[in-house]
Structure 1
Amino acid sequence: MQTHEIRERFINHFVNSGHTEVPSAPLILDDPTLLFVNAGMVPFKPYFLGQQNPPFANGTATSIQKCVRTLDIDEVGITTRHNTFFQMAGNFSFGQYFKEGAITHAWTLLTDPVDEGGFGLDPERLWVTVFLDDDEAADIWHRKLGVPKDRIQRLGMADNYWSMGIPGPCGPCSEIYYDRGPEYGKDGGPVVDDTRYMEIWNLVFMENRRGEGTGKDNFEILGPLPKKNIDTGLGIERVACILQGVDNVYETDLLRPVIDVAEKLTGSPYGKDHDSDIRFRVIADHSRTGMMLILDGVTPGNEGRGYILRRLLRRIIRSARLLGATGATMEKFMTTIMDTMTPSYPEIASSRERIIKTAVAEEKAFLRTLESGTHLFEDALGAAKEKGQTTLSGDKAFTLHDTYGFPIDLTLEMAHEAGLEVDREGFNALMAEQKARAKADNRAKKHGGADLSVYREFVDGHPTRFTGYGNLTDQATVLGLVHDGTKLTHAGQGKQVEVILDTTPMYAEAGGQLGDRGTIRVGDTVLDVTDVQKIGKKLWVHKAVVTNGEIGVGDTAVAEVDKKWRHAARQAHSATHLIHAALRQILGPTAVQAGSMNKPGYLRFDFNYTEQLSAEQLQQIETVTNEAVDVDWQVNTIETTLEEAKAMGAMALFGENYGHNVRVVEIGGPFSMELCGGTHVDHSSQIGPVAVLGESSVGSGVRRIEAYSGLESFGYLSKERALAEGLASSMKAPTDELPDRIAALTEKLKAAEKQIAEFKKQQLQQQAGTFVDDASTVGAFTVIAEKLEGLGGGELRQLATDLKNRLGDVPGVVVLGSDDGGKAPFVVGVTAEGIARGVKAGDMVKLVSRHVNGRGGGKPDMAQGQGTDAGGFDAAFTAVTDDLATR
């Protein structure tokens, strides 16, 4: 039975029994506590936590949620049941059926014959576990479904009691296992061997509240929940493993084709060697996870989600190399996994080119990194083994990371393969010296991770009615006031407060558009609204300051949007849509949105693209955008179902979790048609001029365009004109001749710089002869130690090479430093005879570094570095000669 059929049977079973089918949420949710969705219940957290009431008609739901668990990365391939990406099929009950219903549903689906919609598993091969004192569940399994008592085993809290790991809902669970047979392990059930007995389904009976604590079993149970809930999770991959009769999850219909391709690309066989098999499984698993992450909008980067994706893709590349691949592999891996996954996820088809481009670009970049970094690693490895060391130093690991782009995980992996540890403390200390990485995004700062329970009654009972598409002023009732997570009844002058209204014309930040600014008035009392945020997609929270008077719960208020703010914000948001359309027209359909931000007069637009845009392309994008403004297209908004919107050709932002009903914004018919809840102009001419400021890279495979709109654009263009006219006046040339004049001046400057460089080279050659003549003898060594002025690192290295060659066969050491405008570059060169006598340039560079507040490194014959204190060179030269005198 193919995996997509297993999925279909699961959903049909529960839909036919009255459950609401809920599509899988994206792997990225607006939850700052999670990098990725890691369990099937995550999208339902607000209902289990009591923050919102479930919107399902019968209080039951079913879904097949795509999940990623990054903690399992190092287990992939080593065990035969861990995947970083997996599909968790689940059924959920919110205060409806409980233990007997959950158990019966699961048993029926697993054991019903295939021709009746079930999976047709042999009941005699199914074992179950229950919590230690859960007699009720054990009795249902035995008396109602006939499972023999000797196939019902009891386990403690660490195994059969579920919680989220934090205070909140919890409860006992019952797990279903399949006996794969004696060839897979020992007899005796899952308590004896959980490899032979494979867990396939976990039924969680959520009935209690847990308190503070750590671990899986070190917490207090505070009491019962108001309602008993059901949360189950069936592993699609594990069921496929059983129904397809394969040994492990890597050999099912979804992943085995990738292994087959890897065999062809590498020339190595699968199933012959333990270490090779691990690498094949890593390739298969990570190809799927990487592809699904890219599908949902993740791009390779150096932090957070992007770092996880980068690590996965680089492990694929390195595993393929170790298996014998010599050329590019990523495109074939990605193509193969997309073919196997598309029947379950049809949206892959429209993103194939983008996925391949992103993965291939990362492969090209990493192959360069791998080549240069591997040489450095091997040098460090050889040096460590030569000295009898068992640990790779933290500074070597940091250099690999900082200079060569080697992730620390890759260094750890390579060191482990070579039998070495890595000094993580030293590495972490050096990392701590770098600048702090970017903090959580703007939304996470505003509400992420906060206790949102204070808003629960408003989200459930009083969702905000938004009237701002048609109104800029509206009357409302004050439903609530919140300050620092505490509800207030009144707020007086000077108080910062969050105001909850039953109705508002103010737009809450969403879709890249910042929240409106405006005022709330209650009689003579005035509040300045500085931001509007959305809670649970239903509740508008107005962040405001009481400028005078007092506001209270129950008051009748008038909410008014700042008209200038809204007008300029509408211009920027509509301009964002036009630029998106222009990008796709100029660059092609793979240039799709990866994020945006627009505020009055300004927009930035991130899009997936692997190449820098040319000046000509930027000009074309600006031209197409302004032509769309000039045409004066009408801007239409259409409210329809998600399915109808997609049929119309409306673009959806990948990774976004849309509801059943959506809003389509259409500008110029097919020119621009996107799903969008933002505010927009009525006609494209109302946007005013759009000035593209430029584009830049914001991550691997992601570019960013920035632009002004409306009056901000006009002001920017006026300043540019004034600047051009000023230059024209200075150069006594018309503005249209400026490019040619500047190009001519640039060429003259380059020629002058070339002459200066040649002159410097001649001077250095003359000095080189003098330095050799003035060389000193220290013990057995001929030493040249000179401090120079105004030379950079490259020039010092060139001079050091010349001096080494002039010294010839003598044991010689060259130490050069320079005061270069506040910088202190330095170079050490050692002749072959000097190296033979035990002197290494890299060691000498470290000695120099201590005196000039610098750092550096290199090879035994040539090393260099840079400091900040050129005044320390004299002491550094003395330290070098003192060291040489003792040899």
Structure 2
Amino acid sequence: MQTHEIRERFTHHFVKAGHEAVPSASLILDDPNLLFVNAGMVPFKPYFLGQQTPPFPNGTATSIQKCVRTLDIEEVGITTRHNTFFQMAGNFSFGQYFKEGAITHAWSLLTSPIDEGGYGFDPEKIWVTVYLDDDEAANIWENVVGIPAERIQRLGMADNFWSMGIPGPCGPSSEIYYDRGPEYGNEGGPAADDSRYLEIWNLVFMEKERGAGTGKDNFEILGPLPKKNIDTGMGVERIACLLQGVDNVYETDLLRPVIDEAQRLTGATYGANHEDDIRFRVIADHSRTAMMIILDGVTPGNEGRGYILRRLLRRIIRSARLLGATGKTMESFMNTIMDTMTPSYPEIADNRERIQRVAITEETAFLKTLESGTELFETTAAKIKQEGKTTVAGADAFALHDTYGFPIDLTLEMAAEAGLQVDTEGFDKLMAEQRARAKADSQAKKHGHTDLSIYRDWVDNHPTEFIGYDELTAQSHVIGLLSDGKKVSEVSAGHDVEVILDASTFYAEAGGQIGDRGTMTLGDSLLRVNDVQKIGKKLWVHRATVETGGFALGDTVTAAVDPAWRHAARQAHSATHLIHAALREVLGPTAVQAGSMNKPGYLRFDFNYTEQLTPEQLEHIELITNQAVDADWQVNTIETTLDEAKTMGAMALFGENYGNIVRVVEIGGPFSMELCGGTHVAHSSQIGPVSILGESSIGSGARRIEAYSGLDSFKYLSKERTLVAGLASALKAPSAEVPDRIAQLTTKLKEAEKTIENLRKAELLAQGSRLVARAHLPNGITVASAVLPDGTTAGDLRTLAADVKNHLAGEAGVVLLASSTSDGKVPFVVAATKEAIARGANAGTIVKTLNPYIDGRGGGKPDMAQGSGSNPDGLPEGLKAASDHIATL
């Protein structure tokens, strides 16, 4: 049975039982605790916690959720049961059925014959576990389902009590196992051997809420949830493994084709030895995970999700090289995994080219890194072993990272393969000193993972009616006031407050558009609205400051959006849509939106693209955008179903979860059509001029365009015109000729600088002969010593030392040069001819003689050494001490 059929049977089974089928959420959700969705229940968490009422008519749902877990990437492939990406099929009950319903639903699907829609598993091979004191679940398994007591085992909290690993819903669980037979291990059930007895389904009886803690059993139970719920998770890959009769999850119809392709590309054989098998599995697992992460809009980077993706892709590349691949492999791996996954995720077909572009670009960059970094690591490792040591110094690991872009996890892997350890503490210290990590201060104004239950009653029973598409001012009732996170009945001047209205004209921040600004008034009382956020997609929370008077629950206020603010915000948001359309027209469909932010007069637009845009491309994008403005197209908004919107060709954002009814914004017919809930102008001409400020990289495979719109664009263009006029006046040339005149002046300046530099070098080298002529001869060794004037750089000293050394060719000579700069630095260089070295001279040793007198640091090889000091007053004595040292040779 193919994997896509396993998925279809699961969904059909639970829909037939009254559950609503819910599409998989994106792997990326707005949850500060999670990089990726890591469990099937994550999208349903607000319903389990009681923060929101489930929108399912029967209070039950079913989904097959995409999940990624990356905590133990290094362990992938060592065992054959775990993947970083997996599909979790689940059924959920929110206060409806509980233990008996969950158990009987699962049993029916697993054991019903295939021709009746089930999976056809042999009931005699199924074992179950329950939590230690869960007599109720054990009784249901034995007396309702009919599993013999000897196949029901009780395990502790680490095995049969489930949570996400972070504060949130939790509860005892019952796990279902399948006996694969004696060839897979020992008898005795899951408690004896969980390799032979393969876990296929976990039924969680979600009734508690846990607090902070570590591990699977080291946390506090805070209390009961508002209702008893069911959360189950069936591992699609493990079911496929059993139903397809293969040994492990890597040999199913989804992953085995990637292993076969890896064999073709590398010449290695899967099954020949354990080390190579691990590499084959890494390639298969990571190819699928990376592809699915890219599909949901992530691009490689150095932090967060981008770093995880980069790490996965680089492990694929390195594993392929270790197996024998000599060329590029990513395109083949991505094509293969997309072919196997498309039947379950049809959206892959529309994103195929973009996924390939991201993966191939990262491979090209990393192959260069791999070549240079591997060579340096091997040299370092050989030196360490030669010295009889066993640890790669933190400084060496940092040099690999900082200079060659070699990730520390790759250094750790290569060190382990070479039998070495890495000083990770030293590496971490240097990393901390080298960069200051940016803080995500934007989260400060978000609700993040705070307790949203205080808003639940409003979300469920009094959601905000948004009336701001058609009007900016309205009479609204105050139905909620919060101060310092607590409900209050009234507020007075000087207080910050959150205000909830029954109806609001204010747009709440969403879709890249920041919330409206404005006022609420009641007689002489004035409240200034500073921000508007949305809770549960239903409730508008107005964050404001009471400037005069006071407000109380039940008041009828005049809520007024600042019309100038809204006008400029609409201009910027509509301009964002036009730039998106123009960008795709110029760059093609692979330039996909990766985020945006627009506020009055300004916008930034992030998109997935791997190359820097040329000035000509930016000019073309700006031209197309302003042509759309000039066309005066009507801006239409259409409410329709999600499926119909997609049929129309409307574009959706990655990572967004849309309801069944969506809003489509259309500008110029097919020119721009996007799913969007934001506010827009009525005609494209109302946007005014759009000026693109520039384009930049924001990470590997991701770029950003910034622009002004409307009056802000006019002001920007006016300043540019004034600047050009000033330059034209200064150059005494027409404006159109200013770029050429500046280019001519720049060329002349560079030529003059080059001439001056050549003259300076000539003067510098002329000193070489004079230094040799003034050299004295202690002990038969010629010493050329001089302190050069301020402005002589360390590079100048090296150049002059090499020239003097050439003048001394054929005789034993040492060059001692230094300069005293205006900032108190004392650069110096020591050079020795091979004849002097034969007499015992060593430039590195001579430097050590000089250092104490000038508070210097430095060193080098016998023929050339250099450094710098900070005490110019000590130079005369230092140079004399160096000469005295030479005289003793």
The TM-score, its normalising length taken from structure 2, stands at 0.92
Contact map agreement 1:858 1:864 (CA 8 A) in 2:
yes
Superposition deviation, residue 765 in structure 1: 3.8
The amino acid across from 2:28 in the alignment is I
Whole-Å Cα distance in 1 between the matches of residues 247 and 885 of structure 2? 63
Superposition deviation, residue 655 in structure 1: 2.2
Whole-Å Cα distance in 2 between the matches of residues 305 and 849 of structure 1? 49
Alignment deviations for residues 596-620 of structure 1 (CA, whole Å, 9 cap, x no partner): 1111111111111111111111111
Unaligned runs of 5+ in 2: none
Contact map agreement 2:816 2:879 (CA 8 A) in 1:
no
Alignment deviations for residues 432-459 of structure 1 (CA, whole Å, 9 cap, x no partner): 2234222226246432232222212222
Aligned 1:312-391 pairs, distance under 5 A: 312-391=312-391
Unaligned runs of 5+ in 1: none
Aligned 1:34-49 pairs, distance under 5 A: 34-49=34-49
The amino acid across from 2:131 in the alignment is F
Alignment deviations for residues 304-346 of structure 1 (CA, whole Å, 9 cap, x no partner): 1111111111111111111121211111111111111111111
Superposition deviation, residue 387 in structure 1: 2.3
Whole-Å Cα distance in 2 between the matches of residues 543 and 776 of structure 1? 84
Alignment partner, residue 188 of structure 2:
188
> Do the aligned partners of residues 439 and 265 (structure 1) sit closer, same or farther apart at CA in structure 2, a change above 3 Å counting?
same
Alignment partner, residue 593 of structure 1:
593
Q: Does 1:119 align with 2:119?
A: yes
Q: Does 1:152 align with 2:131?
A: no
Alignment deviations for residues 530-575 of structure 1 (CA, whole Å, 9 cap, x no partner): 1111111111111100001111122111211000000000000000
Alignment partner, residue 200 of structure 1:
200
> Do the aligned partners of residues 191 and 845 (structure 1) sit closer, same or farther apart at CA in structure 2, a change above 3 Å counting?
farther
The amino acid across from 1:141 in the alignment is W
The amino acid across from 2:283 in the alignment is I
Contact map agreement 2:576 2:605 (CA 8 A) in 1:
yes
Alignment deviations for residues 637-687 of structure 1 (CA, whole Å, 9 cap, x no partner): 001011000000111112221111110000000010011110000000000
The amino acid across from 2:135 in the alignment is D
> Do the aligned partners of residues 284 and 734 (structure 1) sit closer, same or farther apart at CA in structure 2, a change above 3 Å counting?
same
Contact map agreement 2:169 2:225 (CA 8 A) in 1:
yes
The amino acid across from 1:517 in the alignment is R
Contact map agreement 1:535 1:541 (CA 8 A) in 2:
yes
Superposition deviation, residue 781 in structure 1: 12
Whole-Å Cα distance in 2 between the matches of residues 80 and 849 of structure 1? 60
Q: Which has the higher mean CA deviation after the structures are superposed, 715-724 or 758-767?
A: 758-767
Whole-Å Cα distance in 2 between the matches of residues 654 and 622 of structure 1? 25
> Do the aligned partners of residues 784 and 205 (structure 1) sit closer, same or farther apart at CA in structure 2, a change above 3 Å counting?
farther
Whole-Å Cα distance in 2 between the matches of residues 434 and 500 of structure 1? 46
Contact map agreement 1:667 1:673 (CA 8 A) in 2:
yes
Secondary structure, counterpart of 2:240 in structure 1: helix
Contact map agreement 1:818 1:826 (CA 8 A) in 2:
no
| Paired residue total | 887
> Do the aligned partners of residues 31 and 186 (structure 1) sit closer, same or farther apart at CA in structure 2, a change above 3 Å counting?
same
Aligned 1:129-140 pairs, distance under 5 A: 129-140=129-140
Superposition deviation, residue 873 in structure 1: 9.1
Superposition deviation, residue 163 in structure 1: 2.6
Q: Does 1:5 align with 2:9?
A: no
**Identical positions, percent:** 72
Whole-Å Cα distance in 1 between the matches of residues 851 and 255 of structure 2? 52
> Do the aligned partners of residues 714 and 315 (structure 1) sit closer, same or farther apart at CA in structure 2, a change above 3 Å counting?
same
The root-mean-square deviation of aligned C-alpha atoms, in Å, is 3.5
Superposition deviation, residue 369 in structure 1: 1.6
Contact map agreement 1:591 1:607 (CA 8 A) in 2:
yes
Alignment partner, residue 395 of structure 2:
395
Whole-Å Cα distance in 1 between the matches of residues 421 and 300 of structure 2? 27
Contact map agreement 1:776 1:783 (CA 8 A) in 2:
no
> Do the aligned partners of residues 279 and 608 (structure 1) sit closer, same or farther apart at CA in structure 2, a change above 3 Å counting?
same
Q: Does 1:86 align with 2:86?
A: yes
Aligned 1:680-699 pairs, distance under 5 A: 680-699=680-699
Whole-Å Cα distance in 1 between the matches of residues 837 and 374 of structure 2? 24
Superposition deviation, residue 188 in structure 1: 1.4
Alignment deviations for residues 337-378 of structure 1 (CA, whole Å, 9 cap, x no partner): 111111111111111111111111111111222222223322
Alignment deviations for residues 60-106 of structure 1 (CA, whole Å, 9 cap, x no partner): 00111111111031110111112111111111000111111111111
Whole-Å Cα distance in 2 between the matches of residues 886 and 149 of structure 1? 94
Alignment partner, residue 75 of structure 1:
75
> Do the aligned partners of residues 198 and 729 (structure 1) sit closer, same or farther apart at CA in structure 2, a change above 3 Å counting?
same
Aligned 1:221-232 pairs, distance under 5 A: 221-232=221-232
Whole-Å Cα distance in 2 between the matches of residues 113 and 278 of structure 1? 36
Alignment partner, residue 420 of structure 1:
420
The TM-score, its normalising length taken from structure 1, stands at 0.92
Q: Which has the higher mean CA deviation after the structures are superposed, 306-315 or 157-166?
A: 157-166
Q: Does 1:617 align with 2:617?
A: yes
Whole-Å Cα distance in 2 between the matches of residues 878 and 21 of structure 1? 88
Alignment partner, residue 537 of structure 1:
537
Whole-Å Cα distance in 2 between the matches of residues 856 and 161 of structure 1? 61
Secondary structure, counterpart of 1:332 in structure 2: helix
Whole-Å Cα distance in 2 between the matches of residues 87 and 876 of structure 1? 72
> Do the aligned partners of residues 718 and 184 (structure 1) sit closer, same or farther apart at CA in structure 2, a change above 3 Å counting?
same
Q: Does 1:470 align with 2:470?
A: yes
Superposition deviation, residue 380 in structure 1: 2.4
Q: Which has the higher mean CA deviation after the structures are superposed, 372-381 or 721-730?
A: 372-381
Alignment deviations for residues 471-497 of structure 1 (CA, whole Å, 9 cap, x no partner): 101121111112222222111101011
Secondary structure, counterpart of 1:70 in structure 2: coil
Contact map agreement 1:478 1:556 (CA 8 A) in 2:
yes
> Do the aligned partners of residues 188 and 852 (structure 1) sit closer, same or farther apart at CA in structure 2, a change above 3 Å counting?
farther
The amino acid across from 2:637 in the alignment is T
Q: Does 1:431 align with 2:431?
A: yes
> Do the aligned partners of residues 373 and 167 (structure 1) sit closer, same or farther apart at CA in structure 2, a change above 3 Å counting?
closer
Whole-Å Cα distance in 1 between the matches of residues 779 and 482 of structure 2? 77
Q: Does 1:759 align with 2:759?
A: yes
Alignment deviations for residues 113-153 of structure 1 (CA, whole Å, 9 cap, x no partner): 11111111122221111111111111111122221222111
Contact map agreement 2:50 2:226 (CA 8 A) in 1:
no
Whole-Å Cα distance in 2 between the matches of residues 237 and 90 of structure 1? 13
Whole-Å Cα distance in 1 between the matches of residues 78 and 581 of structure 2? 46
Whole-Å Cα distance in 2 between the matches of residues 845 and 533 of structure 1? 65
Alignment deviations for residues 734-776 of structure 1 (CA, whole Å, 9 cap, x no partner): 0011111111112112222322333344345445566678599
Contact map agreement 2:779 2:888 (CA 8 A) in 1:
no
The amino acid across from 2:521 in the alignment is R
Alignment deviations for residues 681-725 of structure 1 (CA, whole Å, 9 cap, x no partner): 000000001111111111111111111111101011111111101
Alignment partner, residue 500 of structure 1:
500
Contact map agreement 1:813 1:834 (CA 8 A) in 2:
no
> Do the aligned partners of residues 730 and 22 (structure 1) sit closer, same or farther apart at CA in structure 2, a change above 3 Å counting?
same
Superposition deviation, residue 22 in structure 1: 0.7
Secondary structure, counterpart of 2:71 in structure 1: helix
Whole-Å Cα distance in 2 between the matches of residues 41 and 345 of structure 1? 20
Whole-Å Cα distance in 2 between the matches of residues 835 and 177 of structure 1? 77
Contact map agreement 2:45 2:169 (CA 8 A) in 1:
no
Alignment partner, residue 104 of structure 1:
104
Contact map agreement 2:48 2:225 (CA 8 A) in 1:
no
Q: Which has the higher mean CA deviation after the structures are superposed, 672-681 or 332-341?
A: 332-341
Whole-Å Cα distance in 2 between the matches of residues 279 and 781 of structure 1? 62
The amino acid across from 1:300 in the alignment is P
Secondary structure, counterpart of 2:557 in structure 1: strand
Alignment partner, residue 646 of structure 1:
646
> Do the aligned partners of residues 881 and 390 (structure 1) sit closer, same or farther apart at CA in structure 2, a change above 3 Å counting?
farther
The amino acid across from 1:333 in the alignment is F
Contact map agreement 1:131 1:157 (CA 8 A) in 2:
yes
> Do the aligned partners of residues 212 and 617 (structure 1) sit closer, same or farther apart at CA in structure 2, a change above 3 Å counting?
closer
Superposition deviation, residue 167 in structure 1: 4.6
Whole-Å Cα distance in 2 between the matches of residues 435 and 703 of structure 1? 22
Contact map agreement 1:26 1:66 (CA 8 A) in 2:
yes
Superposition deviation, residue 786 in structure 1: 7.1
Contact map agreement 1:778 1:881 (CA 8 A) in 2:
no
> Do the aligned partners of residues 814 and 393 (structure 1) sit closer, same or farther apart at CA in structure 2, a change above 3 Å counting?
farther
Secondary structure, counterpart of 2:426 in structure 1: helix
Contact map agreement 1:642 1:660 (CA 8 A) in 2:
yes
Secondary structure, counterpart of 1:71 in structure 2: coil
Q: Does 1:523 align with 2:520?
A: no
